[in-house]
Amino acid sequence: MPRIASLPLHLEPATQQALAAELVTVEHFLVRQEECELTTADGQQKEAFRALLLHLQSHMAAPVRNGVQLLRQLEADARILPFLCGSLDELLKGGIREGQHTELVGKSGAGKTQLCMQAAMATAARGERCAIIDTGAAFSPRRAAAMFPRCAAASPAPDGVIHAHDVHALLRHLDALAGQLQAEEAERASGAPARPRLSLLVVDSPAALVAGALGGQRGAGAGHVAMACLGRALRALARRFLLAVLTTNHVVRGLGDQPRPALGDSWANQPHVRVQLGRGEGRARSAALAAFHIGPCYAAPAWFELREDGVG
């Protein structure tokens, strides 16, 4: 059970601190709920108890809803962020979706980083925020602006690039981002001026940090634990803050010399959507659906080109 001090209850800091001092965890509150309501006479403390109970009801015991209601909520709350690449957006039914984790898989030179750059600049061009975590020193806002002037001219560059050189640093950055977004939510709820909501999180590439720890006997267990933690963290960020999460994954040689995603089968259920990229002649690239939660994966591949002014 989470600690009460970490919950976004939108109370005065002193009130929430007093509540957390008396009832450390949510479990403690649930066990003592009736006792607290009967013995509390202070109005401010009653308000704190009520806020905590409402938070638990909405996040841990939400009312039962049918499929139509869930679909309407999804259509109202979550948006689709386009790549500004017609064939790829058509393949993905509009683009990448907020609240979901989309993964690009392919060999070196297949266009993974270029597509991440285009998604980031397209988001910035709409006046929205984008966070980028780079693990291989390949992602540069300056390079993105030079490659995609049609996007860069319309808006400032994304928030900046955070560099992570090991999986523990990546997890720390994701945890810090969650804290920052939670604080921004509290600011907006209080009516204070706040920055626009973060729309897109790009991580290029988690596999570069985790894949090396998965092979062999020594340290493989720690690698799988780190991979599981990373997958949960990305999904939690997407769901909790309605982010569109976009990651990349390279390929390695599998059984029969067939290429397979570097993070293996244990990672296969982490992304909601997986796009397999391939190389054609010259600048031509292909994209096929390997996992797609809202439709079949047997659609014909989409073809696009890596051009000087972006992907199209």
CA atoms of 62 and 57, how far apart (whole Å):
6
pLDDT at 7: 72
Beta carbons within 10 angstroms of residue 269's beta carbon: 9
> What residue type is 104 in one-letter code?
L
- The CATH number of 78-311 is which of 3.40.605.10, 3.40.50.300, 3.40.228.10, 3.40.50.720? 3.40.50.300
Give the max Cα distance, the chain. 75
Of residues 131 and 252, more confidently modeled: 131
- pLDDT-derived band at 11, boundaries 50, 70, 90: confident
pLDDT at 156: 46
Which has the minimum average pLDDT: 23-32, 226-235, 282-291? 23-32
- pLDDT-derived band at 150, boundaries 50, 70, 90: low
3-state secondary structure of 244: strand
CB 311 within 8 A of CB 118: yes
The residues of the chain that CATH labels 3.40.50.300 are 78-311
pLDDT at 81: 92
CA atoms of 233 and 279, how far apart (whole Å):
31
Which of 8, 5, 4 shows the shortest CA–CA distance to 240?
8
pTM greater than the 0.85 cutoff:
no
CA atoms of 52 and 151, how far apart (whole Å):
44
Q: Is the pLDDT of residue 299 over 50?
A: yes
Of residues 235 and 266, more confidently modeled: 235
